[in-house]
Amino acid sequence: MINEKMRMLGAKRSAIRELFEYGLKRKREIGEEKVFDFSLGNPSVPAPVELGEGMRELLSEVDPILLFGYTSAQGDAGVRAALADYISRLHSFRCDKDELYITVGAAAALTCSLHAVVSPGEEVVLLSPYFPEYKVFVEGCGGVVREVACDSESFHPDIDALSSAINERTAAVIINSPNNPTGAVYSAWEISEIGALLEKKSSEAGKPIYLISDEPYRELAYDGVTVPFIPKYYRNTIVCYSFSKSLSIPGERIGYVFVPGSVSQSKQVYEAICGAGRTLGYVCAPSLMQRALPLCLGLTADVSIYDRNRRLLCERLTSLGFSVVKPEGAFYLFLKSPIPDAVAFCESAKRHELLLVPSDSFGCGGYVRISYCVKTEMIERAMPAFSALAADFGLV
């Protein structure tokens, strides 16, 4: 019989995807230029030219049997060695090629890691607001989601609340900094506090509680904010990285899991990740894209455009009377809904052809997420609509 749980997940797309599809339809109806789509986190700046050039060169020069052939399940050894060397130098933190497992993007990194360290019935703590697919991934491995609200003003972690949420059934905590949807970047001090808490709780539970760090936005931090490298602050950290945003290649699906040697039973955790990959059907990450990675280490797409968009949006929307959480990273602006019901507010925005995502999708009410990985000129064109929306709610 059809697995009803799977069917529901397939039939009911995420609210973000629904809004995106609505936007496509609306654009066909009234014209591309008249719809202001701030729904998706789809990079709007091109990949570095070195990537495309490097891939063309690989396609011209490497024997196709090798180039398109199976790699080891954990990724090509040479590629892992280059990545490990880069990570070690960048973070001044030892990373060995045999601690890296190359994945089909961050989503695969997360599902493999969760399947590896969560047993059915165990709990995984999510700090709300959070990326809604986390819940799907946790439940997919038989885990139970426990939500902990962030501080309601800063959207940084509330350590006391986190402490209360951890119990003997807790297998892992997922963090995401720079954060989707709030743009918060957790400080070294905050990460230390989380690390100390998890150390204490692990010791009480007599087993490690893993900190799974989802890092697709690592390179997107502004105003000189630094993004701490989490394994330096807590030994049982599993890093899930993606090149989707840094290189503007979200459709190519390439990322990695890093299981540092500091992780308790790190070799066994790594083996379990390999086993999870096998079970889920990940034979290896796409081979051409694996081989292109060493050509792009340290490169990013021109992320200064996101910073420009961020400043522009914050300034203009604040001047219209909206309250925003000033983002320190990622490419999302978290704006306070002028009415408690953010879903209703987003419906009002839609009437001005503004597509904003209500924070309810992220496990917290009262806000909307505005993706600013868009063309700057769309932000300019959207201003009269935002102005009309502000007027609707008596802000101006």
CA distance 370 to 349: 12
Q: Is 339 in the site for its own copies (CB under 8 A)?
A: no
Provide, rounded to whole angstroms, the least separation between the CB of residue 379 and its own copies: 17
Which of the stretches 149-157, 189-197, 279-287, 388-396 binds its own copies when contact is defined by CB under 8 A?
279-287
Asked if residue 372 lies in contact with residue 379, where contact means CB atoms within 8 angstroms, the answer is yes
Tell the residue number behind the tokens 């400080």, with chain if given: 187
Task: Find the binding residues for its own copies in span 128-157 (CB under 8 A).
Answer: 133, 136-137, 139-141
User: Which residue of 29, 92, 251, 377 would you call a contact of its own copies, by CB under 8 A?
Assistant: 251
Residues contacting its own copies: total by CB under 8 A: 87
Contacts of 59 (CB under 8 A, 6+ apart): 67, 288
217 binds its own copies (CB under 8 A): no
Q: Which of 10, 224, 340, 394 binds its own copies (CB under 8 A)?
A: 10
Task: Give the amino acid at 186.
Answer: Y
Of 175-183, 213-221, 275-283, 377-385, the segment contacting its own copies by CB under 8 A is: 275-283
Cβ contact 316:389 at 8 Å: no
Residues 154-193 that bind its own copies (CB under 8 A): 171
259 vs 267: CA distance, rounded Å:
8
**Alpha carbon distance 180, 196 (integer Å):** 24
Q: How far apart are CA 191 and CA 197, in angstroms?
A: 10
- Smallest separation, CB 260 to its own copies (Å): 15
Query: Measuring CA to CA, how many Å separate 269 from each of 168, 237, 238, 266?
Result: 20, 11, 9, 5
Which positions from 33 through 92 interact with its own copies, judged by CB under 8 A? 40, 42-47, 51-52, 55-56, 59-60, 63-65, 67-71, 73
Which positions from 289 through 328 interact with its own copies, judged by CB under 8 A? Answer: 289-290
Examine residue 366 and tell whether it contacts its own copies (CB under 8 A): no
